[in-house]
Amino acid sequence: KNEVEQSPQNLTAQEGEFITINCSYSVGISALHWLQQHPGGGIVSLFMLSSGKKKHGRLIATINIQEKHSSLHITASHPRDSAVYICAAPRGAQKLVFGQGTRLTINP
Amino acid sequence: DTGVSQDPRHKITKRGQNVTFRCDPISEHNRLYWYRQTLGQGPEFLTYFQNEAQLEKSRLLSDRFSAERPKGSFSTLEIQRTEQGDSAMYLCASSKRQGAETQYFGPGTRLLVL
B90: contact with A, CB 8 A cutoff: no
B83: contact with A, CB 8 A cutoff: no
DSSP state of B101: P
Nearest to A95 among B41, B48, B108 (CB): B48
How many residues does this entry show for chain B? Answer: 114
State residue A102's pLDDT score: 96
Per the model's pLDDT, the better-predicted residue between A90 and A13 turns out to be A13
Q: Name the nearest CA neighbour of A69 among A23, A6, A3, A21.
A: A23
Q: What is the mean pLDDT of residues B41-63?
A: 90
The pLDDT confidence band at residue B19, using thresholds 50, 70 and 90, is very high
Q: What is the mean pLDDT of residues B94-108?
A: 81
Angle at A54 between CA A57 and CA B28, to 5 degrees: 90
pLDDT at A86 over 80: yes
Cα–Cα dist B87/A70, whole Å:
32
CB atoms within 10 A of CB A107: 11
CB contact under 8 A, A43 and B91: yes
pLDDT at B99 over 60: no
pLDDT in tens, A63-76: 998 889 999 999 99
A46: contact with B, CB 8 A cutoff: no
Cα–Cα dist A59/B22, whole Å:
33
